[in-house]
Amino acid sequence: GAGVSQSPSNKVTEKGKDVELRCDPISGHTALYWYRQSLGQGLEFLIYFQGNSAPDKSGLPSDRFSAERTGGSVSTLTIQRTQQEDSAVYLCASSLVTSLNEKLFFGSGTQLSVL
Amino acid sequence: AQKITQTQPGMFVQEKEAVTLDCTYDTSDPSYGLFWYKQPSSGEMIFLIYQGSYDQQNATEGRYSLNFQKARKSANLVISASQLGDSAMYFCAMRENTNAGKSTFGDGTTLTVKP
């Protein structure tokens, strides 16, 4: 497709389980970003990838969170031993490059519910 | 201190009227970019408008314009001739040159257009 694709759109899991969220960016976009949005709140930066450079992981809230980007394209955000406070919408975005004037293209998000 | 502040959690506007959504920002970086995004109930964030810190003129995109007051560090979004489809959440965001990969978002303003 032409846009950023995220899967699954919804994920319900039990506390303590691991989850994987997938993001397929727009073809040709070198930059990929993960954000978290809690109910009715703004976006919290998690991590971004730019080309082959080391990712900026400064927003990951704990070591239970990790992300990788394979082949400069698809990215997976993994949350280990999920907690109820991890419940949120996880948004992925991509852009051509990371420069000041580059707008972000967002996916529709993954709604994660931890019971 | 919050880098992006949106002081209006919710706003109402009558159809066909203009509305201003407020955004103030905080940065010591002389080079930065300011963005507005729209998030309808469907969840997918959509880019609306961009303003660079060195741009001399206020940005405009169709019915959207950005009232950029650099000395006051404000970047208010003006929507003219509101339409029912403008009902959504609106986010102000900033990219700083020192870390262009990391966009910072405000908490958003929910706009409701009344018929």
**A31-73 per-position pLDDT tens digit:** 999 999 998 778 999 999 998 888 999 999 999 999 999 887 9
Residue with tokens 């394209």: A73
What mean pLDDT value characterizes chain B? 95
Two structure tokens written together for A27: 């073809």
Scan for tokens 């009902």, then name that residue. B87
- pLDDT, position B39: 95
Task: Provide the pLDDT for residue A82.
Answer: 98
Residues A70 and A20: their CA atoms lie apart, in Å, by 14
Q: What is the pLDDT of residue A52?
A: 85
Q: What is the pLDDT of residues A101-114, one digit of tens each?
A: 999 999 999 999 99
Neighbouring C-beta atoms of residue B115, cutoff 10 Å: 6
Query: Cβ contact (<8 Å) for B106 and A50?
Result: no
Percent of chain A with pLDDT over 70: 99
| A chain contacts of residue B104, beta-carbon cutoff 8 Å | 45
pLDDT tens-digit map of B10-44: 999 999 999 999 999 999 999 999 999 999 998 88
pLDDT value at residue B99: 86
User: With 70 as the cut, is the pLDDT of residue A1 above it?
Assistant: no
Say what the pLDDT of residue B112 is.
98
CB contact under 8 A, B44 and A107: yes
pLDDT digits (tens, 9 = 90+) for B57-81: 999 999 999 999 999 999 999 999 9
Strands (E), B53-107: 60-61, 64-69, 74-79, 88-96, 99-105
**Residue A58 corresponds to which tokens in the numbers above?**
């400064």
> With an 8 Å Cβ cutoff, is B10 touching chain A?
no
> Which chain B residues touch A105 with a CB distance below 8 Å?
47
- Name the band, by pLDDT with cuts 50, 70 and 90, for residue B100: confident
- The answer on pLDDT for B1 being more than 70 is no
Smallest Cβ–Cβ distance between A99 and the set B35, B91, B100 belongs to B100
**Nearest C-alpha in B relative to A50:** B101
Q: Is a pLDDT exceeding 60 seen at residue A16?
A: yes
Give the CA radius of gyration of chain A: 13
Chain A residues interacting with chain B (CB cutoff of 8 angstroms):
31, 33, 35, 40-43, 45, 48, 50, 56, 58-59, 89, 91, 93, 98-109
B97 contacts A100? CB cut-off 8 A: yes
Inspect the interface and report whether the beta carbons of A103 and B47 lie closer than 8 Å: yes
Per DSSP (E only), the strands in A14-106 are 19-24, 31-37, 43-50, 65-69, 75-79, 88-95, 105-106
Q: So what's the pLDDT on residue A94?
A: 96
d(CA B77, CA B64): 7
Judge whether B79 and B109 are in contact, CB under 8 Å.
no
Beta-carbon separation of A89 and B43 below 8 A: yes
CA distance A17 to chain B (A): 26
